Structure 1
Amino acid sequence: MSSFRVRLTLILIGMIGLAVLAAGLFMGKTYRDNHLEALQDNMVREMKVILDGMDWKQGDPNELFGYYTEEAKHLKSITDTRVTFVRGDGVVLGDSDHDPVTMDNHSTRKEIVQAKKEGVGRTTRYSDTIKQNLLYVAMLVHPSDPNSDIIRLALSLKKADESVQRIWAALLMGLVVLFAVAALISYRVALGLTRPLEQITRVSKRIKNLDYRARVAVKSNDEIGELGLAINAMADSLQDQMARIHQNESQLASVLDNMINGVVMIDAKGTIVLLNRMAEEVLGFSARELVGHHYASAKQQYELSKIIQEAMERREHLRDEVTFYFPEERLLDLNLVPIIEDNDEFGGVLLVLQDVTAIRRLERMRSEFVANVSHELKTPITAVKGFAETLLGGAVDDPETARSFLQIIYDESDRLNRLIGDILELSKIESRRVPLQFSPIELSSFVGKTLELMSAEAVRKQIRISAKVEPGLYVEADEDRLRQIIMNLLGNGIAYTSEGGSVSIAVEPVHEPNAVLDEDGLENYEHIRIYISDTGMGIPKKDLPRIFERFYRVDKARSRSSGGTGLGLSIVKHLVELHKGTITVESKLGVGSTFMIELPVLQ
C-alpha cells in the first residue's frame, strides 16, 4: 500500500472517528442531563405527595428533632431516598441518614437558597456526610412564603452513574464497530482515489524513462479521468515528436557515416562532441577514444591540434593542407568553420577533413603525363627535323647518306604514329569510351591464333614460344581486347628476352573449394588464370609497383631501342580491369618475369 493511500485512509478514519466520538460525547451528556432532570422531576412529585399527607409541626427544635427524624426515616424506607427537613432559618429538624443535632446550618446550601428564591432548588454535589455524589432537590413547604420551612430529598447518583457508564460502554462498543466500518469504507474510498493516481504516477515515470508507449487506462469521466486523458495526449505528442527526432537523428547519422569527408565537431571548451566514421579512419582514432575528450588528446596529430587551437582563438574560417603520417601517410585538406549559436555566442568549431591524397596524386600523374607526352613527342620530332635539315643542307646529294637519313625519319615517324595511337587508345580506355563486346571464347584455339600472329617476331629473335591450355576452357570476354592484352604481354616478353630464350603462355581454371560437378562430370569454375612467362632480363623489385604507370620504363635505353612507347602495360591494366579482372607480376633479375591475369568466366 502506498504511503499516500495510508495517509488518506488515516485522515478519513480520523475524521469519522472524531465525528463519532463527538456524537457519542454529546449523546452521553444529553442522556445524563435528561436522566437527572427526570429524577429531579420525580423527586419534586414525591415531595408534593409527602407534604400533602404529612402533618407539619411547629415548635421548639429540641422537641421536633425526634418527630421529624422518625418521619424522615419512615419516608426513606418508602422512597429509597435521603429525606431532610429544614426550618426556614436553615436549622435541620430531621434527617433520615444523620443526627440532625450534629448537622450544620443549611441556610447557605445552594439548593436551599434556590428554593427560597424559586420555590424549588436543585443541585448535585459530593456529600461529606455519607461520602457519595448526591442529587439534591429542595422545595418550600409553603411556596408563597420565602421563609417557609423546607423539605429536601437527596438521591445517590451511583445508580445514575452506573446507568451512564452502561451507556458509555455501549457507545464505545458502537464506536469500535463504527471505526472498523469506517476504516473499511475509508480504505475503499482511498483505494478508489489513489489507484488511478498511482497508475498515472507509474505512467509518468515510464514516460520520464523515455517509454513513450505507456498509457493510462481511463475508466471514469471525473477530474482524474481528465488528467489521465491529458497525460495520454501528452504521451502521444511526445511519441510523435521523439519518432521525428529519432528519424532525423538516424538520417543525420546515416549522412555523417556515409560522407566521404571526415567531420569533427568541437565545442567552445575544446571538447570533441561528434566524430563520423571517415574522421575515425583518417585520424586513426575511434569515436569512443575521442568523443568527450579534449582535442589535444589526439597527440599523434600535433599539427591538427595546432590549427584547431588557432581556429578557436581567431574564430574565423581557416583552410589548410596538412600531411598526416598516422595511421598512414595522407594529404588532407582541412576546413575549420566557427559555430555561431542563435544568441551570437561562440559554440565551437566544425572541422571538415578531405583526403586529397588521390586527387593530388592524379594531378601529379597528369602533370607527369603531360611532361612525358611532351618529351616522348619531342624526341621523334626533333630527330625528324634534324635529319631533314641535314638533307636540306646537301646530304641529299649523297645517296647512301640520304637513304640512311630517310630511313631514320621513317622509323621516327612510325614511332611517333604508334605513340599517338597508344595515347589516344589509353585516353579512350581510361574514359571508358571503349564499348566491350562480350562473347564466349574457346581459349585453346584463341591462344593458338594469337601465337601465330606473334611467331614471326619470335622466329626473328630465335625465341621459343609455347602454349599450354586445357581443352574445353571458355571465358566470356571481348575477343579483340583480350587478344590485345595477350599480344602486348607476349610482345614485351619477346622484346625483353635475349636470343635463344623462351616465352610461354598457360591457361588454367581456378578450382573453387567444394566445387560442384557439371553434367559431364567436370568441376565448375568461376575464374580462369592466364600465365605469360619469359626468360628475359627480369624487373628489379623496386620497379615492380610502378611498371603499370604510364611512360614508366625499367630500362629506358632498352625500351627506346625496342620501339616501345611506355604505355603498353598501362593499357593492359585498364583493359583487364574493364573485364573485372586483376593482373599481377612476379619477376627476378636475370631469371625472367611472369604476368598473371585472373578473369571471371562470366561477365
Structure 2
Amino acid sequence: MNPKKSIVTKLWLYMTVLAIVALLFSGLVLSSVFEDFYFNLRKNEMINEGQQLISLILGGANPSELLDVSKFINAYAVLIDRQGLIQASSNVIKFNGIAIGPKELSEVLKGNIVVHKGHTPQFNASMLTVALPIRTEAGVAGGLILFSPMSSIEDTVWQIRRLILSAAVIAVLISTGLSFVLSKTVSKPLVQMKKAAEEMARGEFKSKVDVDSEDEIGTLAKTINYLSDVLNENINALDQEKKQLQNVLLSMTDGVVTFDTANQIIMANPQALEIMPTIKEHDNSYLNILEPLLKHVKDSGEYISEELRINGRIISTRLTPLFNENQQLWGILVVLKDVTRERKLEDLRKEFLGDISHELRTPLTYLQGYTEALLDGLVENREEHDRYLNVILEETLRLRRLVDELLQLSHIEAGHLNIKKDRVSIKDLIERVSKKVLPICDDKNIELKIEIEDIPSITADEDRIEQVMINLIDNAVRYSSNDSKIIIKAQSCKEGIIISVKDSGSGIPEDELPFIWERFYKVDKSRTRQKSGTGLGLAIVKKIVELHGGRVWAKNCPEGGAEFSFLMPWGA
C-alpha cells in the first residue's frame, strides 16, 4: 500500500498538523498576554514611583537630588515646565531642548498620564515612557517624565517565549506519538473493513471484521459483517439459479438465443449453435433472415412466431421482447426449433393416407370387378375363369400382406413382438434367403452376388433376421433396373457382424436419407404398381434390428445405387 494514501498516515499527519497549529496559536496568544502583562506591570510601577517623586518635590525636596535617586528604580527622570522645557534631569543623562512631544505635553498639561513605548531618539533605544502631571493649587505646573528601557521587559518576554517554544516542541513530539498510536488504533478496523470489502469484491465472504467497540466504527464493522453474510447468501442463491437456468438451457431440445437492441448476441445455448452453426460469428445469411423478425418485435413490442427455411431445414422461430422494470426494451429472446422431421413425418402421413387408399382401392376394384364378372356369368371358358380367380387371389394376398405389415409394425412398436434368440449362422441364413428371392431376381434378369467372409455365428432370432434380409433384398429388387446387379455382403467387426445389401438403382436424394427408415416413407412418390410398396418394410427392418441391440444406416454409392446396412452385435 502507498504510504501517502494510507489512512494511518493521513490521520497521523492531520492530527500532528492540528496539534502544531493549536500549539503555535496558543504560544502566540500566551506570548502576547505575558508581554502585555509585564508591560502593564512595569507601567504601574513607574506611575507609582513617579507619583512618589512628585510628592517629594512638592514637599520641598531638591528636584536634582531626587531625580538622581530615580536610577535605583531602573528609570531615568526629567522634570519639565509648562512650556515643556527641561528644568532638571538625572545626572546619568543630559537633555537639551524638549524631552516630550507637543501632543504628549498637551495631554500632561491637561492632567492626564501619558504612556508611550517605542524608539526614543535621545537614548537611541526602545524605551517605556511615562509622563505624569505635577499638580499644584494653581493647576498643572509641569510634568515628570520617566524613561525605562524596554530591554528588561523584552528579555523577560523572550525567556517566556523560549519556555513556551520548548513546551510546544515537547508537546508536538508527544502529540505526534499519541496521534500515531491513535491513528493506528482508529484505522485498524477500517483497514480490516477495506480488506473484507476487497475479498467480497473477489467473491470471498469468509473473512469477518473483528471489532468489539460500540461506537460508530463498531457499528460499521457489524454492518460490513452483516453485508458479507447477506451478499454471500444472495450470490449463492443467484449462482444456484444461474446453474438451474444453465441446466434448463442445456437440457432443452430447442435453441435459445438472446439479442440486445443492437442485434448483438448476448447468450446462445449449444442447441441454438447446432441449429444455426455460425450464428455466433454473426453469419449474414442467418442474421439477414432473423433481422426482419427482430425489427418487427422491436417496433411492435409483441411476441411473434414464424417458420423459416434455412439451408433446406424448417426452423420454427418464436421471438419474445424482454423489458426492464421501466418497461424499456433491453433485449429479444429467440427460441429456435428444428421441425424439419416433424413436418416431413406429417407429409409422410399425408402421403401414406393417399398411398394406403390407393393400395386398398386398387385391389378392391379388381376384386369387385372380377367377382361381379364371375357372378354375372360373363366368363365363357374354364381358362378365363381360372385367370379371373388367380387375379382375385393375388389381390387378396396383396391386401393380406399390407394388413400383416401394419399389424406387425404395430406389434413391434407396442413391444409385443417376441424375440427367440439362438445361435445363428449368418452365412447359411444369407444363402437360404438368396435361394428364396432368386425367382424375383430372375424376373428382372438381376444378378444376385454374395460376398461373405468367414464369420462366426451370432445370437439372434433367425426368423426375424431372415425377414430383415428379405425386406432389404425385395426393396433392392424393386428399385433396381433390369439386367443389373445386387450385392449382399457380410463381414465381422469389433462390435459384431455388418450385413449390407447394395442395389443398382438411382440412389436416394441426400436430404431424404434421414427419413427412409420412417413409417410410410417411399422414395418413389408415384403410385405405379411396379415399384409401389407400403412404405413399411424399412421401418420393420429398423425395429427388428434395434430389438436385437443393433443399428441400421444407408448411403449412396459413388458408382450409383444405394447400400443398406445393419449391424448385429455378437451377444445380441
Whether the TM-score (by the shorter chain) exceeds 0.5 is yes
Residues 111 and 123 in structure 1, CA contact (< 8 A), matched pair in contact too: no
Kindly provide the CA deviation profile for residues 103-161 of structure 1, in whole angstroms up to 9, marking residues without a partner as x.
6589996899599789xx97655443222334457899999998799877644332332
Contact 2:279 2:287 in 1 (8 A): no
Deviations 1:334-381 (A, max 9, x none): 445566777777777655444322112111111222222222233333
Letter matched to residue 543 of structure 2: H
> What does residue 393 of structure 2 align with?
410
Query: 1:494, 1:102 → 2: CA distance?
Result: 159
Structure 1 56/130 Cα, relative in aligned 2: closer, same or farther at 3 Å?
Answer: farther
Percent identical residues? 23
In 2, Cα distance between the equivalents of 1:592 and 1:337? 47
From 554, 558, 570, give the equivalent of 1:584.
554
Where 1:528 maps in the other structure, the secondary structure is strand
1:528 aligns with 2:497: yes
Q: 1:236 aligns with which of 223, 229, 232?
A: 229
The Cα shift of 1:584 comes to: 3.3
CA contact (8 A) 1:506 1:532 kept: yes
- Which of 111, 121, 128 is the matching residue for 1:128? 121
TM-score (normalised: structure 1): 0.71
1:448 aligns with 2:428: yes
Q: Which residue of 163, 167, 188 maps to 1:170?
A: 163
CA contact (8 A) 2:279 2:286 kept: no
Q: 1:443 to 1:587 in 2, by over 3 A?
A: farther
Q: Does 1:390 align with 2:399?
A: no
Measured after TM superposition, the shift of residue 268 of structure 1 is 7.1
Task: Name structure 2 gaps, 5 residues minimum.
Answer: none
Deviations 1:448-478 (A, max 9, x none): 256446646649988888674536x354444
Query: 2:19 matched to which residue of 1?
Result: 16
2:522 pairs with 1:541: no
Shift of 1:402: 2.0
Distance in 1 of aligned mates of 2:198 and 2:527? 84
How far, CA to CA, are the matches of 1:26 and 1:495 in structure 2? 123
Bigger relative contact order (CA 8 A; separation at least 6): 2
Counterpart of 1:261 in structure 2 is: 254
- Deviation string, structure 1 residues 168-197 (Cα, Å, up to 9, x no partner): 233223323333333343344344444544
Q: How does 1:92-241 map to 2 (within 5 A)?
A: 92-99=87-94, 104=99, 113=108, 124=117, 126-135=119-128, 154-197=147-190, 200=193, 211=203, 213=205, 217-219=209-211, 220-241=213-234
What whole-Å deviation, never above 9, does each CA across 1:519-556 have from its counterpart, x for those lacking one?
A: xxxxxx333222457xxx72223579667674747799
Residues 319 and 335, structure 2, Cα contact 8 Å, conserved in 1: yes
Which residue is 2:402 aligned to?
Answer: 419
* 3-state SS of paired residue (2:545): helix
Q: 1:568 aligns with which of 537, 560, 564?
A: 537
Instruction: Map Cα deviations across residues 390-430 of structure 1 (whole Å, 9 max, x no partner).
Output: 2223255622332232233223322322232123223433x
SS in 2 for 1:331: strand
Q: May I ask how many residue pairs the two structures share in their alignment?
A: 558
Separation in 1 of the partners of 2:373 and 2:436? 35
Instruction: Select which of 452, 462, 470 maps to 2:454.
Output: 470
- CA spacing shift, 1:163–1:283, aligned 2, 3 Å: same
Distance (Å, rounded) in 1 between the aligned partners of 2:227 and 2:460: 65
2:126 maps to amino acid: N
Q: Secondary structure at the match of 1:161?
A: helix
Bigger mean CA offset, 224-233 vs 170-179? 170-179
RMSD value, Cα = 5.3
SS at match of 2:415: coil
- Aligned partner letter, 1:433: G
Matches within 5 A, 1:291-330: 298=284, 304-310=290-296, 313=299, 318-322=304-308, 324=309, 326=310, 328-330=311-313
Where does 1:340-379 land on structure 2 (aligned, <5 Å)?
351-379=334-362
Check 1:559–1:390 CA distance in 2 against 1; reply closer, same or farther (3 A cut).
Answer: closer
Q: Is the 8 A contact 1:336 1:349 kept in 2?
A: yes
Structure 2 counterpart of 1:513: none
Shift in alpha-carbon separation, 1:184–1:153, aligned structure 2, 3 A: same
Matching residue of 2:491: 508
What amino acid does structure 2 have at the position aligned with 1:600?
P
Structure 1 letter corresponding to 2:76: R
- Supply the AA of the counterpart residue of 2:415: R
SS in 2 for 1:541: coil
Question: For 1:243-258, what aligned pairs fall within 5 Å after superposition?
Answer: 243-258=236-251
Closer/same/farther in 2, CA of residues 188 and 453 from structure 1, 3 Å limit: closer
Deviation at 1:597, TM superposition (A): 2.6
Whether the 8 Å contact between 2:111 and 2:140 is mirrored in structure 1 is yes
Unpaired segments of 5 or more residues in structure 1? Answer: 59-63, 291-297, 511-524
CA–CA distance in 2 between the matches of 1:539 and 1:204? 75
**Aligned residues of 1:212 and 1:236 also touching (Cα < 8 A):** no
TM-score, normalised via structure 2 length: 0.74
* Residues 484, 504 of structure 2: 8 Å contact kept: no
Q: Secondary structure at the match of 1:92?
A: strand
Distance 1:280 1:539 in 2: 37
Residue in structure 2 matched with residue 2 of structure 1 by the alignment: 5
